[in-house]
Amino acid sequence: MGHSMMIQTGKDGYLEFGHMSAFNSGCRIAAEKKIIFKDRSKFSWDCQIYDTDFHPILDMIRNQTLKINSPVIIGENVWIGHNVIYQKVSSWLMMLSLVPAVL
């Protein structure tokens, strides 16, 4: 774990770190529901990983409130670069900004 990291879990939050997962300084993690980091996941500095929006969000087109929390699972052998923000229900982001690490 790097210097000046922030790790926060909610009342029912679950956080799991896989074998040899590593985080550089300034990373922020907030688990209100569930965040799992699989084995050998690596994070550059100032990354943010959240499974929550922290407050309700209204979808004005469908006139319904979206789910506030949703699980996040980061796979094995993944490296996440500097300043990446990974939020709930953002698996499309994984294809664009996450690079599998060759270890």
Strands (E), the chain: 6-9, 14-17, 22-23, 28-31, 34-37, 42-43, 48-50, 58-59, 64-65, 72-74, 78-80, 85-86, 98-100
Tens digit of each residue's pLDDT (9 = 90 or more) over 14-66: 999 999 999 999 999 999 999 999 999 999 999 999 998 888 888 888 888 87
CA distance 96 to 94: 6
pTM: 0.77
pLDDT at 23: 93
pLDDT at 97: 46
